[in-house]
Homo-oligomer: A and B are copies of this chain.
Amino acid sequence: MSTAGPRPRRATIRDVALEAGVSRGTVSRVLNGEPYVSAQAREAIERAVARVGYVPNSAARNLATRRSQAIGFIVHEPHELFLEDPNIGAILLGANRVLSGSDHQMVSLVIDSERDSRRVARYLSGGFVDGAVVVSARQDDTLLTTIARLSIPATLVGRPPATSRVPWVGIDNKGAARAITEHLVGTGRRRVGMIAAALDRDSGADRLAGFRDALGPAFDRRLVVENQLYEYTAGRTGMIELLEREPEVDGVFAASDAIAAGALDALRAAGRRVPEDVGVVGFDDSSWALRCQPLLTTVHQPARQLGEAAAASVLAQLRGTATDEPAGGLLETHVVVREST
């Protein structure tokens, strides 16, 4: 297939008007479902649209309305994780469902470097999107500053820094972490460790805080292994590290299901039985949890609903119907007991 050639000119609103014997204005009104159009004109226009194969030109509409009908879905994670993490995936699906339901296009943007960050900032300023859902922003994210400066309607998934006034949706990571740690301790574990991750984000920091809370005086800093990311390999190496530091460990709270899966494999390789020798719990209740052997006890997090809520919040801001509480909404979590404890 060679030359792009001049694409065949497509039918415009004028062609439709001509064909239907009315004016552009009337056609526009029909297209946008406005009242005050006679049934007769409406019908003629609909027939004309079909006959000339008219499709609205979005660029022209965007220019005239100064809106793009697109919402950015911004993820601040390495590209790989964006695809691997089922949690982010579920949030994305939820957001997409709500957005496409209200005739908005979702545009995914991944930030994985300083360069990406600038590119995305430029993209946001360029009027490509009317609003944005921001996932896993860091506490010190420059993106949040950009958004505030441009006053683009945006909603965060996860708790923003205290100083920020951006709306958000999230879960009570601290409370949930406390709950699942208490469950773990409740199965009679004495030496409980944690494979933590992403401490530069609210989710990571809060999960560690909840863990510490639950253990109280029994908390031992030595039994906490820290990682950058919520990922499988971090679980594997983290577990090996933990076994070295404390061979007697009999309980592990992994900061995510993927980490737990890695930890389970490391434990198996080390000849420990789960749950007999060591109890393991995760966080997320993502597809990893059901892929584990044994099936993972974890915190169910309503990831899809988080995406839906965030998208709905952005749309509400766009319509100007946002309730005026800048604070965020917390969605419910609960502990799901399976076979690993």
Report A300-341 CB contacts with B as 1/0, cut-off 8 Å: 000000000000000001111110101000000000000000
Cβ of A89 under 8 Å from chain B: yes
Interface residues of A in 284-298 (CB under 8 A from B): 287, 291, 293
Q: Name the B residues within 8 Å of A110 (CB-CB).
A: 96
Cβ of A151 under 8 Å from chain B: yes
Inter-chain CA distance A23–B3, complex, in Å, is 26
| Shortest distance between the CB of A256 and any CB in chain B (Å) | 15
Inter-chain CA distance A3–B153, complex, in Å, is 10
Cβ of A128 under 8 Å from chain B: yes
Q: Name the B residues within 8 Å of A80 (CB-CB).
A: 93
Query: Of B1, B8, B60, B107, which one neighbours A319 at CB under 8 angstroms?
Result: B1
What is the total number of copies of this protein in its complex? 2
Cβ of A188 under 8 Å from chain B: no
Cβ of A66 under 8 Å from chain B: yes
- Interface stretch (choices A34-42, A119-127, A178-186): A119-127
User: Could you tell me if B322 and A1 are in contact, using CB atoms closer than 8 angstroms?
Assistant: yes
Q: Name the B residues within 8 Å of A123 (CB-CB).
A: 105
| Shortest distance between the CB of A219 and any CB in chain B (Å) | 32
Q: Name the B residues within 8 Å of A261 (CB-CB).
A: 291
Cβ of A56 under 8 Å from chain B: yes
Cβ of A161 under 8 Å from chain B: no
Residues of A that sit less than 8 Å from B by CB: 1-5, 7-8, 10, 55-60, 62-63, 66-68, 79-80, 83-84, 86, 89-90, 92-93, 96, 100, 105, 107-108, 110, 119, 122-123, 125-128, 130, 151, 153, 165-167, 232, 261, 265, 268-269, 287, 291, 293, 317-322, 324, 326
> Mind listing 13 A-B residue pairs with CB under 8 Å?
A1-B317, A1-B319, A1-B322, A2-B322, A2-B324, A4-B67, A55-B125, A57-B126, A59-B62, A59-B63, A63-B63, A80-B93, A265-B293
